[in-house]
Structure 1
Amino acid sequence: MISMFLLFSVFILYSINRMTNSLCIQKEIPEERQPKVFRFINVSITILLVSSYVEILYT
């Protein structure tokens, strides 16, 4: 169960980062701000993934 969820999480993080990169290119976000955008989105997605894992674990 854990390995399946980890695989799923890696796929989700990879695809979200690809979409974030596309957003940065499309909206012409300056290079200085891009690390902040990526950090915020990655932390948010990680929190969502951890909370969903905990929910699945205790259900």
Structure 2
Amino acid sequence: MVSLFFSLLAMIILFFTNQMTASLCTQKEIPEDRQPGVFRTINILITILLISSYIEVLFT
């Protein structure tokens, strides 16, 4: 049950993080060729945070 709830929450967090990243790229006028790297970096870092928080919840 916890894993289902956490998975849904993680997808929502990633969705809104990507929306905020898109608006950041637009606002700061980041060139089109650098935007995939920005998205990739932010998504990897958020995924690491989500996995570590899931492990913390799972083992406490």
Same-fold status (TM-score > 0.5): yes
State the Cα distance separating 1:11 from its structure 2 match: 0.2
Q: Find the aligned partners of 2:33 and 2:18 in 1 and give their Cα distance.
A: 17
Any stretches of 5+ residues in structure 1 without a counterpart? none
Aligned sequence identity (%): 59
Other-structure match for 1:37: 38
Residue correspondence of structure 1 range 16-55 to structure 2 within 5 A: 16-55=17-56
Task: Give distance in 2, aligned partners of 1:36 and 1:30.
Answer: 11
Q: How many pairs align?
A: 59
Post-superposition shift, 1:52?
0.0
Please state if 1:13 is matched with 2:14.
yes
How far apart, in 2, do the equivalents of 1:57 and 1:26 lie?
A: 38
* Displacement of 1:46: 0.1
Q: What is the alpha-carbon root mean square deviation over aligned residues?
A: 0.2
